[in-house]
């Protein structure tokens, strides 16, 4: 096994969680689903246990509700999610069929991971899906979630899922190829290649999501990456265009070196 400070640890990982944001796989960018699946299937084919945390239910459902912008009221968000989740999983499964890989849909709320019984059930279900070589596709259950109990963004959900199943690596994908010292479109922005304890980010200025369909941004990815890394999971932040390179252990993105968590050694 490669050292945790080395991105090649992603390639050598036995269990990997990959998270993709709404703007990367909805609207015109729905075309990204096929190359994303290509990369996931390649890892799956060499024996890696892959879990995909995919945003995009609301964004995917919006055109079917004739909405041009993300709805602000909860009821319409829930309606868009109910329609979009169905379409989203179909698109993934349609692409996965090329590799004879079966997807399993897992919808969670924040309450599910806070309630010990629900958390245990979710963990057991995920473990069984992985043992059966099913590729779980996880999303927040937007149809029933309320503002008070939401994860806030799927970057945090991905971090919590990686902790739940004690993943070896977490790959957070977006439209930007790494974490930068300031929004990458601004002059003087520099790519941050390695984060060891978080202190490297003390002077960093983060921008928010500008896609109009998602809720995350660089700050949510950094927060999620710190959470997962502190629990012992190495985290790579990069763009969806670099997903194949990321899963192959290439020198891309920003790597968050995992801490040491003794509890992880109990994973089956």
CA distance 263 to 261: 5
Known binding residues: 19, 55, 142, 154, 174-175
pLDDT at 218: 82
Instruction: Give the residue ranges of the annotated binding site for substrate.
Output: 55, 142, 154
Rounded to two decimals, the pTM is 0.90
Annotated binding-site positions for ATP: 19, 174-175
Residue of 123, 229, 99, 217 whose CA lies nearest to 171: 229
Mean pLDDT computed over 167-183: 92
pLDDT, tens digit (0-9, with 9 covering 90-100), for 54-79: 999 999 999 999 999 999 888 898 89
89 φ, ψ (degrees, to nearest 5):
-65, -35
Query: 178 in a domain, yes or no?
Result: yes
Q: Is 71 contained in some domain?
A: yes
Question: Is 3 a domain residue?
Answer: no
Residue 236 lies in domain: 8-263
When divided into structural domains, the chain yields a total of 1
The answer to whether residue 37 sits within a structural domain is yes
Q: Is there a domain that residue 171 lies in?
A: yes
Instruction: Read off the pLDDT of residues 88-102 as tens digits, 9 standing for 90 and up.
Output: 999 999 999 999 999
CATH code at position 148: 3.40.1160.10
């Amino acid at each position: 096994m490669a050292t945790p400070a080395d991105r090649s640890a992603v390639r050598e990982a036995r269990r990997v969680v990959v998270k993709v944001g709404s703007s990367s796989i909805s609207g015109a960018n729905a075309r990204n689903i096929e190359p994303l699946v290509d990369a996931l299937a390649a890892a799956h084919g060499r024996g890696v246990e892959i879990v995909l945390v995919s945003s995009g239910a609301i964004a995917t459902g919006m055109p079917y509700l004739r909405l041009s912008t993300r709805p602000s009221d909860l009821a319409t968000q829930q309606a868009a999610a109910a329609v979009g989740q169905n379409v989203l999983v179909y698109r993934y499964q349609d692409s996965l069929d090329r590799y004879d890989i079966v997807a399993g849909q897992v919808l969670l709320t924040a309450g599910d991971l806070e309630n010990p019984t629900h958390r245990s059930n979710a963990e057991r279900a995920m473990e069984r899906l992985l043992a059966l070589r099913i590729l779980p596709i996880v999303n927040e259950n937007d149809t029933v979630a309320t503002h008070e109990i939401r994860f806030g963004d799927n970057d945090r959900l991905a971090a919590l899922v990686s902790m739940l199943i004690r993943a070896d690596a977490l790959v957070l994908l977006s439209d930007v190829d790494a974490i930068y010292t300031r929004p990458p479109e601004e002059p003087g922005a520099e790519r941050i290649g390695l984060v060891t304890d978080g202190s490297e980010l003390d002077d960093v200025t983060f921008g928010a999501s500008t896609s109009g369909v998602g809720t995350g941004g660089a700050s949510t990815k950094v927060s999620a990456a710190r959470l997962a890394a502190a629990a012992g999971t190495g985290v790579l932040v990069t763009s969806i265009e670099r997903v194949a390179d990321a899963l192959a252990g290439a020198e891309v993105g920003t790597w968050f070196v995992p801490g040491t968590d003794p509890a992880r050694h109990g994973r089956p």
